[in-house]
A and B are shown apart, each in its own frame.
Chain A
Amino acid sequence: MHGSDESLDMSELATFASSGRSENLVFWVSRMLKVQSLQRKSSPQADQDSPAVPLFGDLAGELKLGHDFAAFFRPLIDKNFTAEPGAAVRDEDEENPGRYKIIFRTRDGEETLYRGLPPHTPVGRCLPPPAHDPWTSLQDPTALPQVRYAALNEIIGSPKETDAAVYLAQQIIRPGLPPAWRDLVVFALEAMHLPPDLHSQVAGRLMMIAAELRSQPEGKDKVVWSALRRSSSLLPPEKAESLLQFLNSGGSVDTRSVALQCIVRVFELSPPQTVPLTLADRVHAFAVKFLDVDVFAAGEPSLIARNSIAALASTGDPRLQDVIGRVAALARPWLTRRVQQQLAKLRWSWHDRGVRRDHPALLNLNAAIGTPG
C-alpha cells in the first residue's frame, strides 16, 4: 500500500482512518502534507501567500495549524497555571459598531463572549514572546508598571518570592516612587509576607501614603484602604493611636469602616495592658451611634456596628458591657449571635497566643459575653 503514487484523494484517506490502521493513516497524512507543500511551491503566489490559518476542510492545513497553535500556546501557558487555552473567533461586534467581539471556547466547551473590544492593530504573525527573566523585569525602573507587576505574578510561588517581597518593601520605603508603580506596590504588599526587620518601616510608610492620598482630591480609595490595612497588620500595638486620624470623616476617602477593622487587627495578637482611651472613646461613639434603633440597618451599618464592638473589645474597654446591652435592646437575635461569634473569635485568638487568663482585656471580654475563659 505504501506506493509512490502522489495522487491521492480524501476518500482513500477516510477508508484508512475508518479501518483503524493508524500507521497507514499517519503515512498518508505525511504524504498529503508533502503534496500540499509541493503544490504551494509550484504556485507563483505561494511564497507570499502562506496562510497561518487554513480554510476549513483543508486537512493538511488544519494539521499544520495544530503545530502552529501548540507553538503559540506553549510559551503562554507553560509555568502559568491560571492560563486556559482554547479556541476563539473574532468578528465585528454588531452591537457596538466599530468595535470587535471575540467568542472564546475552552476545551471542555465553556463559551464566553467578549464584546465591545477595541479595534485591533494588525501586527503581523503572532510569534512566541521573547524569553525574559521576570526578576530582571520586576527591577527594571524603565519598564511599564503593569509589566513589572506581571513579572511579579511569575515570581510568586517561585524561590525568588522572598527576595521579591524584600525588594518591594525597599521600594515602598523610598519616597518619590512614580504614583502608578507605588499603587501597584501597595497592592502587592498585601499579598506578600515580609521579614520582621522591615515591618516597622513599611508600616510607617504605608500609613503615611494612606494619609497623603486621603488628603488629595482625586480619592484613590482602593490604594488608601489597602495601605491602611497592610500598615495595621505590621503596626506595633503601642502605635495603634495613629489609626485615630482615619476614624474621623474628612478627606476624599472614607476610611472609618476599614480603620475599625484595623484596630481589631492591631490588638488581635495581644491586647493592650492599658486601654488606649482616646482611641476607645472614638470607637465607643461609633458603636453607640450605629446601634441606635433609628440608625441601625442590616448590611454595611450593621457591619460597622459589629466592627466597633469588636474594636472596643480588643482595646479592653469596660464600656463593652454597655454596648452589648444595646445589641440586646435591638431585639435582633441574629445580631446577638453574630456579635457573640465575632467576640468568641477574638477570645480564641488571644487564647491561642497565650494571653494570660487574668489579663484585664480578656477578663473584660469574658464578662461581656458571659463565658469564662
Chain B
Amino acid sequence: MPAQVIPSAPGYSATQYAVIGSYLNKHGSRFIRHVALLRNGGFIHNGMDGVEVWHVGPPLVAGVNSQNQTGQNPVCKPDVVGWLALEAQERESMADWLAEVDKEQRPLGNLTLWQQYTVSLDPTHEWHRDEQGRPLYRRFSCASFVLKVYEEGLGRPLISISDPIQLPEVELNTVAHAYGDMVQREPMRRRINLEGAPPWRIVLAGYVLHALNRLDTEIRTRSHSVTGVKEAEFP
C-alpha cells in the first residue's frame, strides 16, 4: 500500500512492524532523517510526542533484551508511515529476526555506541568480529536495520542493497542532514565506515518509504530501484 504522511487528525491506525519515518526537525523539511519499526499496532497521529519503536539509534534496541541492556525505550516522532499488509506467519518471522538481533552480543556503554553502527553496504563491514574473526554482532544504520528485517526476516527485499552501484551518490551535506554535524569530522565518518572522499553510495532513510510507496503485490515481487537522492525526501 502507498506510504503516506500521517495526518494530525483524525490520525491513522497503523499495524505492527509498519515503518515510521521522522522528518528532519526543520520547518517545512521533507527530508526523512530516521526510520524505525512500529513496535505495536495502534492509532497514531501527527503531532504525537513519539510512538514506541524498535530501531537503531544507535544503540540498537530491537527487543526486551536490548531495551534492558541499554536502558532505553525508543520512541520516534511519527511523520510518515509505510507498510506491507502482513500475514500472521510473516509477523512471526519478523519477531524471530528481531529476537535474534536483540540477543546478539552488543557491548554496553558509550565506549562502543558507534561501533555497532555502519552506513556501509560492504559485507565486510556488516559484522563486528572478535580477534579470531568470529562474527559477534551485526552493524546497521537505521535504514539498513529496517531493510534487513524485511529482507532476512520476511524474505522480501525492499531495496536491492547487495550492489551499492545501483544507489545514487550522496554528498557530504546530505549526509550531514541525516547524521548531524558530527559527520563533518573525518574520524567520525571513518568510525561509521563512511570512508574516502564524498560522494558515497549509501542508503538514506527516505528510500525505505519510497520502497514501501508501492502496491503490496509489487513490494512482494520486486525490490525498489532508487531513482535519485531526491528520494531522501518524502513525498
Interface residues of A (CB under 8 A from B): 81-82, 84-85, 106-111, 149, 152-153, 156-157, 187-188, 190-191, 193-194, 196, 222, 226, 229, 233, 257-258, 261, 265, 268-269, 298-300, 302-303, 306, 332-335, 337-338, 341
Contact = CB atoms under 8 A, between A and B. Distances in A.
Interface in B19-67: 24-26, 63
A152 B111 contact: yes
B95 A298 contact: yes
Interface stretch (B102-110, B159-167, B194-202, B212-220): B102-110
Interface stretch (B3-11, B174-182, B224-232): B174-182
Contacts of B107: 187-188, 190-191, 226
Contacts of B25: 109-111
Contact of B180 (A108, A300, A303): A108
A214 B182 CA distance: 41
A338 B109 contact: no
A233 B89 contact: no
Nearest to A155: B111
Contact of A82 (B68, B95, B188): B188
Interface in B148-169: 152, 154-155
Nearest to A265: B134
B108 A82 contact: no
A196 B93 CA distance: 39
**Residue among A187, A196, A300, A335 with the highest chain B CB neighbour number at 10 A:** A300
A46 B13 CA distance: 61
Interface in B178-192: 180-182, 185, 187-188, 191
Contacts, number: 117
Contact of A257 (B90, B103, B134, B180): B103
A152 B108 CA distance: 13
Contacts of A188: 107, 111
A80 to B, nearest CB: 10
B113 interface: yes
Contact of B131 (A107, A108, A194): A194
Contacts of A302: 92, 95-96, 99
A268 B130 CA distance: 12
A199 B18 CA distance: 44
B171 interface: no
B136 A84 contact: no
A187 B26 contact: no
Nearest to A334: B93
B15 interface: no
B51 to A, nearest CB: 17
B95 A299 contact: yes
Contact of A108 (B68, B155, B176, B187): B176
A33 B72 CA distance: 47
B115 interface: yes
B191 A300 contact: no
B89 A333 contact: yes
B93 A303 contact: no
Contacts of B111: 149, 152-153, 156, 187-188, 191
B125 interface: no
Contacts of B132: 233, 269
A291 B130 CA distance: 31
B41 to A, nearest CB: 16
B100 interface: yes
B73 interface: no
B155 A337 contact: yes
A20 to B, nearest CB: 25
A257 B114 CA distance: 26
B118 to A, nearest CB: 15
Contacts of B109: 149, 153, 187
